[in-house]
Amino acid sequence: MSPTPWLEKGYYLSLGETIRDGSRSYWRTARGGVVEKGSAHGVDPKDYQGAELTRSMSFPVGFVMVKNGTKLLRLGDDDKLHATGKNLEKRTFLDLGEEVQIGGQTYFSVIPYVPPAEGAAEGADAETDGGEPAVAPTPEAEADSLFVKADVMRLAELQPIPKGLDPWDRWIDVDITKQMLVAYEGSRPVYVTLVSTGKRGTDEEPFETPVGRYRIRSKQITSNMDGTTATDGNYAIQDVPWVMYFEGSYALHGAFWHQSFGSVRSHGCVNLGPSDARWLFLWSTPFVPDHWHGVTASDDNPGTTIVIRRSEPS
């Protein structure tokens, strides 16, 4: 056996079984290749998950987006805010209530949130190994008025249903400015999360995600992605999960190699936490038949509409 010359440092492989050739050990990859065991090492996949919105919820909703997180506060009997002892990490989802002024500063009231027991996307998990996506109620919290500073939040903005869609149609809104995705059923938002779209790149090699209105053209449970860039060099990732192509090689897909959601990062695709990507994959059309690896949209099985836009900076 000899090493495969195209493998470079930083490439991601899907590793399968270990095989031996005399005193040497190798990985057999999920794609049928072989790589010397000492040349590849396992990595822990990363994940992130936003929130499925229940029918009882309404905007505003949003995410804590300050580096070191923020304190969850409660309003005491003395009409002053006190720390609850809980720190809300960056990217924590919050269901918000009224915007209020307390002590000359602006706050949002916080509504305790519990993920639905059953996801809208057939079998999609309500919680992931990444931890609770939001503030869950406790006996103490139910009796308290909870608050968070308004200036630490990044809020989703409710969007009108695109022209030509029916009130029952499913569609996806991606806000590049806020790095946020909201999935809708008609006019009702049903899911919200943070994404990573294309970074700026250079004039000669731009990576920005294209704005416009699209439809999902094809879906694959996994797909290999690779390319060559002048600024980032070569890259290759095997078995990128939950891929939804909408324009050429541009796609919404899971990204297990980073957790920078809420900031630009990609070469043009819309990166999602794998749990988010799975939810959208199962919820959106064209639906993939059981035991199939992928499907292409058709007149009988059209793709979900995707709107990619830039909002005005707040």
Catalytic residues: 253, 269
Q: Could you tell me whether strands 305-309 and 170-175 are parallel, antiparallel, or unpaired per DSSP bridges? A: parallel
Burial class (CB in 10 A: 0-12, 13-18, 19+), 307: middle
Q: How far is CA 114 from the centre of its chain?
A: 19
CA dihedral 65, 67, 68, 74 (to 10 degrees): -20
Closest by CA position to 297, among listed 191, 214, 184: 214
Q: How far is CA 166 from the centre of its chain?
A: 26
> If DSSP codes are grouped into helix, strand and coil, which group holds residue 49?
coil
Tokens 């979900």 belong to residue: 304
Rounded to whole angstroms, how far apart are CA atoms 302 and 179? 26
**Alpha carbon separation from 241 to 16, 47, 48, 303 (Å, rounded):** 16, 12, 14, 18
Rounded to whole angstroms, how far apart are CA atoms 125 and 122? 9
For residue 5, cis peptide bond before it (omega within 30 degrees of 0): no
In degrees and rounded to multiples of 5, residue 136 shows phi and psi of -90, 150
Beta-bridge partner residues of 107:
100, 149
Rounded to whole angstroms, how far apart are CA atoms 222 and 219? 9
